[in-house]
Chains A and B, each alone.
Chain A
Amino acid sequence: AQSVTQPDIHITVSEGASLELRCNYSYGATPYLFWYVQSPGQGLQLLLKYFSGDTLVQGIKGFEAEFKRSQSSFNLRKPSVHWSDAAEYFCAVGAAYGSSNTGKLIFGQGTTLQVKP
Protein backbone atom coordinates (compact mmCIF):
# COMPACT_ATOMS: atom_id res chain seq x y z
CA ALA A 1 0.00 0.00 0.00
CA GLN A 2 1.14 3.53 -0.71
CA SER A 3 1.83 5.51 2.42
CA VAL A 4 3.86 8.25 4.00
CA THR A 5 5.00 8.05 7.60
CA GLN A 6 6.26 10.88 9.73
CA PRO A 7 7.38 9.06 12.87
CA ASP A 8 7.55 12.13 15.10
CA ILE A 9 4.18 13.68 15.90
CA HIS A 10 5.69 16.47 18.00
CA ILE A 11 9.25 17.81 18.23
CA THR A 12 10.61 20.53 20.48
CA VAL A 13 13.97 22.20 19.77
CA SER A 14 15.73 25.22 21.18
CA GLU A 15 16.12 28.29 19.02
CA GLY A 16 19.44 28.10 17.18
CA ALA A 17 19.63 24.31 17.39
CA SER A 18 19.62 22.08 14.34
CA LEU A 19 16.50 20.30 13.17
CA GLU A 20 15.74 17.08 11.34
CA LEU A 21 12.20 15.94 10.58
CA ARG A 22 11.83 12.39 9.34
CA CYS A 23 9.73 11.16 6.44
CA ASN A 24 9.52 7.59 5.15
CA TYR A 25 7.42 6.54 2.21
CA SER A 26 6.13 3.39 0.59
CA TYR A 27 5.33 3.90 -3.07
CA GLY A 28 5.23 1.52 -6.02
CA ALA A 29 6.08 3.99 -8.74
CA THR A 30 8.99 6.41 -9.08
CA PRO A 31 8.11 9.06 -6.52
CA TYR A 32 8.29 12.77 -6.43
CA LEU A 33 8.35 14.27 -2.94
CA PHE A 34 7.42 17.48 -1.20
CA TRP A 35 7.66 19.15 2.15
CA TYR A 36 4.97 21.65 3.09
CA VAL A 37 4.64 23.89 6.15
CA GLN A 38 1.42 25.03 7.76
CA SER A 39 1.16 27.89 10.23
CA PRO A 40 -1.87 27.95 12.54
CA GLY A 41 -5.06 28.87 10.70
CA GLN A 42 -3.30 28.94 7.35
CA GLY A 43 -3.06 26.80 4.25
CA LEU A 44 -0.03 24.76 3.24
CA GLN A 45 3.05 26.47 1.85
CA LEU A 46 5.61 24.59 -0.23
CA LEU A 47 9.07 24.37 1.35
CA LEU A 48 10.81 22.25 -1.28
CA LYS A 49 10.35 19.44 -3.76
CA TYR A 50 12.30 16.53 -5.23
CA PHE A 51 11.55 15.26 -8.69
CA SER A 52 14.81 13.94 -10.07
CA GLY A 53 18.52 14.71 -10.20
CA ASP A 54 20.50 15.89 -7.21
CA THR A 55 19.23 14.08 -4.14
CA LEU A 56 19.95 17.04 -1.85
CA VAL A 57 17.42 19.78 -2.52
CA GLN A 58 17.32 23.29 -1.17
CA GLY A 59 14.14 25.07 -0.24
CA ILE A 60 12.88 28.30 1.17
CA LYS A 61 13.60 29.62 4.67
CA GLY A 62 16.95 27.80 4.84
CA PHE A 63 15.48 24.28 4.72
CA GLU A 64 16.95 21.36 2.80
CA ALA A 65 15.98 17.74 2.32
CA GLU A 66 17.80 14.64 1.17
CA PHE A 67 16.21 11.89 -0.90
CA LYS A 68 17.56 8.45 -0.07
CA ARG A 69 16.01 5.86 -2.37
CA SER A 70 17.61 2.91 -0.56
CA GLN A 71 16.01 3.98 2.71
CA SER A 72 12.75 5.28 1.19
CA SER A 73 13.30 8.48 3.11
CA PHE A 74 13.10 12.20 2.48
CA ASN A 75 14.17 13.92 5.69
CA LEU A 76 13.93 17.67 6.18
CA ARG A 77 16.77 19.56 7.84
CA LYS A 78 17.66 23.04 8.97
CA PRO A 79 21.01 23.97 10.57
CA SER A 80 19.66 26.64 12.93
CA VAL A 81 16.01 26.93 13.88
CA HIS A 82 14.29 30.29 14.36
CA TRP A 83 11.27 30.90 16.57
CA SER A 84 9.24 31.65 13.43
CA ASP A 85 9.77 28.06 12.24
CA ALA A 86 7.26 26.82 14.81
CA ALA A 87 4.52 25.24 12.69
CA GLU A 88 3.26 21.91 11.40
CA TYR A 89 5.25 20.19 8.67
CA PHE A 90 3.91 17.72 6.14
CA CYS A 91 5.73 15.34 3.85
CA ALA A 92 3.90 14.26 0.66
CA VAL A 93 4.58 11.82 -2.18
CA GLY A 94 3.16 11.47 -5.69
CA ALA A 95 3.88 9.48 -8.84
CA ALA A 96 6.51 11.02 -11.07
CA TYR A 97 5.71 9.31 -14.33
CA GLY A 98 3.29 7.27 -16.36
CA SER A 99 -0.36 6.36 -16.00
CA SER A 100 -0.06 6.43 -12.22
CA ASN A 101 0.72 10.13 -12.41
CA THR A 102 -2.66 11.67 -11.70
CA GLY A 103 -1.21 14.51 -9.72
CA LYS A 104 -2.61 13.04 -6.52
CA LEU A 105 -0.48 13.31 -3.42
CA ILE A 106 -0.36 11.18 -0.30
CA PHE A 107 0.39 13.13 2.84
CA GLY A 108 2.02 12.08 6.08
CA GLN A 109 0.33 12.70 9.40
CA GLY A 110 2.36 15.82 10.08
CA THR A 111 4.99 16.84 12.63
CA THR A 112 4.36 19.77 14.94
CA LEU A 113 7.50 21.76 15.68
CA GLN A 114 7.76 23.77 18.86
CA VAL A 115 10.70 26.14 19.29
CA LYS A 116 11.93 27.02 22.78
CA PRO A 117 13.50 30.44 23.32
Chain B
Amino acid sequence: NAGVTQTPKFQVLKTGQSMTLQCAQDMNHNSMYWYRQDPGMGLRLIYYSASEGTTDKGEVPNGYNVSRLNKREFSLRLESAAPSQTSVYFCASTGKRNQPQHFGDGTRLSIL
Protein backbone atom coordinates (compact mmCIF):
# COMPACT_ATOMS: atom_id res chain seq x y z
CA ASN B 1 0.00 0.00 0.00
CA ALA B 2 1.75 3.14 -1.21
CA GLY B 3 -0.77 5.64 0.20
CA VAL B 4 0.59 9.15 -0.37
CA THR B 5 3.88 9.39 -2.26
CA GLN B 6 5.98 12.54 -2.35
CA THR B 7 8.95 13.23 -4.59
CA PRO B 8 11.69 14.21 -4.14
CA LYS B 9 12.50 13.37 -0.52
CA PHE B 10 15.31 15.90 -0.30
CA GLN B 11 16.23 18.93 -2.37
CA VAL B 12 18.70 21.80 -2.14
CA LEU B 13 18.03 24.91 -4.21
CA LYS B 14 19.67 28.24 -4.72
CA THR B 15 17.72 31.43 -4.14
CA GLY B 16 15.70 32.29 -7.23
CA GLN B 17 15.53 28.78 -8.63
CA SER B 18 12.21 27.12 -9.29
CA MET B 19 11.02 23.62 -8.63
CA THR B 20 7.93 21.48 -8.37
CA LEU B 21 7.15 19.11 -5.53
CA GLN B 22 5.11 16.13 -6.61
CA CYS B 23 2.42 14.30 -4.67
CA ALA B 24 0.35 11.31 -5.70
CA GLN B 25 -2.19 9.23 -3.77
CA ASP B 26 -3.59 5.85 -4.69
CA MET B 27 -6.57 5.79 -2.31
CA ASN B 28 -9.08 7.44 -4.69
CA HIS B 29 -9.33 10.40 -2.31
CA ASN B 30 -11.15 13.55 -3.35
CA SER B 31 -9.29 16.12 -1.26
CA MET B 32 -5.58 16.87 -1.15
CA TYR B 33 -3.50 19.30 0.88
CA TRP B 34 -0.04 20.83 1.02
CA TYR B 35 1.49 21.82 4.37
CA ARG B 36 4.80 23.18 5.49
CA GLN B 37 6.31 22.24 8.85
CA ASP B 38 8.67 24.56 10.65
CA PRO B 39 10.10 24.10 14.17
CA GLY B 40 7.69 25.26 16.87
CA MET B 41 4.96 26.13 14.39
CA GLY B 42 3.25 22.82 13.73
CA LEU B 43 1.88 22.29 10.25
CA ARG B 44 0.55 25.22 8.29
CA LEU B 45 -1.69 24.79 5.26
CA ILE B 46 -0.32 26.25 2.03
CA TYR B 47 -2.97 25.22 -0.51
CA TYR B 48 -5.64 22.59 -0.76
CA SER B 49 -7.86 20.98 -3.34
CA ALA B 50 -11.25 19.94 -2.04
CA SER B 51 -11.99 18.03 -5.22
CA GLU B 52 -10.55 17.47 -8.67
CA GLY B 53 -10.54 20.72 -10.62
CA THR B 54 -10.58 23.05 -7.60
CA THR B 55 -7.81 24.64 -5.57
CA ASP B 56 -7.89 27.17 -2.74
CA LYS B 57 -5.43 29.10 -0.65
CA GLY B 58 -4.62 28.06 2.86
CA GLU B 59 -2.91 29.96 5.64
CA VAL B 60 0.47 30.63 3.97
CA PRO B 61 0.05 30.61 0.15
CA ASN B 62 2.44 33.44 -0.80
CA GLY B 63 5.30 32.30 -3.03
CA TYR B 64 3.60 29.05 -4.03
CA ASN B 65 1.33 27.75 -6.76
CA VAL B 66 -0.45 24.43 -7.08
CA SER B 67 -1.93 22.22 -9.76
CA ARG B 68 -4.46 19.45 -9.29
CA LEU B 69 -3.38 17.49 -12.32
CA ASN B 70 -5.99 14.77 -11.90
CA LYS B 71 -7.67 13.02 -8.99
CA ARG B 72 -4.42 11.30 -7.98
CA GLU B 73 -1.88 14.09 -8.29
CA PHE B 74 -1.43 17.47 -6.62
CA SER B 75 1.78 19.39 -7.23
CA LEU B 76 3.29 22.39 -5.43
CA ARG B 77 5.48 24.84 -7.32
CA LEU B 78 7.98 27.37 -6.04
CA GLU B 79 8.51 29.85 -8.86
CA SER B 80 11.40 31.77 -7.30
CA ALA B 81 12.68 30.06 -4.18
CA ALA B 82 13.60 32.14 -1.14
CA PRO B 83 15.51 31.10 2.00
CA SER B 84 12.29 31.61 4.02
CA GLN B 85 10.82 28.68 2.13
CA THR B 86 13.34 26.28 3.66
CA SER B 87 11.06 23.80 5.35
CA VAL B 88 9.67 20.29 5.36
CA TYR B 89 6.71 19.99 3.02
CA PHE B 90 3.96 17.44 3.54
CA CYS B 91 1.22 16.36 1.22
CA ALA B 92 -1.97 14.80 2.60
CA SER B 93 -5.23 13.43 1.28
CA THR B 94 -8.64 12.44 2.55
CA GLY B 95 -11.64 10.75 1.02
CA LYS B 96 -14.33 12.41 3.11
CA ARG B 97 -14.08 15.74 4.82
CA ASN B 98 -14.58 14.42 8.35
CA GLN B 99 -12.14 11.59 7.97
CA PRO B 100 -8.45 11.61 8.87
CA GLN B 101 -5.93 12.97 6.49
CA HIS B 102 -3.26 10.55 5.27
CA PHE B 103 0.23 12.00 5.03
CA GLY B 104 3.23 11.39 2.84
CA ASP B 105 6.74 11.14 4.28
CA GLY B 106 7.61 14.70 3.37
CA THR B 107 10.06 16.62 1.20
CA ARG B 108 12.94 18.30 3.00
CA LEU B 109 13.77 21.45 1.09
CA SER B 110 16.75 23.72 1.75
CA ILE B 111 17.17 27.01 -0.06
CA LEU B 112 20.58 28.64 0.07
Count of residues in A whose CB is under 8 Å from the partner chain: 27
Query: Residue-by-residue, is B47-69 near A (CB-CB < 8 Å gives 1, otherwise 0)?
Result: 01010000010100000000000
Which residue numbers of A lie inside 8 Å of B, CB to CB? 4, 6, 9, 32, 34, 36, 41-46, 49, 51, 90, 92, 94, 96, 101-105, 107-110
Q: Which of these, B41, B58, B103, contacts A104 with CB under 8 Å?
A: B58
Task: Report yes or no: A43 in contact with B104, Cβ–Cβ below 8 A.
Answer: yes
Instruction: From known contacts A44-B90, A109-B42, infer whether A102 and B97 are also in contact, taking CB-CB under 8 Å.
Output: yes
Interface size class of B (residues with CB under 8 A): 20 to 34
Which residue numbers of B lie inside 8 Å of A, CB to CB? 4, 31, 33, 35, 40-45, 48, 50, 56, 58, 90, 92, 94, 96-98, 100-106
CB distance from A110 to the nearest CB of B (A): 5
Task: Report yes or no: A103 in contact with B40, Cβ–Cβ below 8 A.
Answer: no
Chain A residues near B103 (CB-CB < 8 A):
36, 43-45
Task: Report yes or no: A109 in contact with B97, Cβ–Cβ below 8 A.
Answer: no
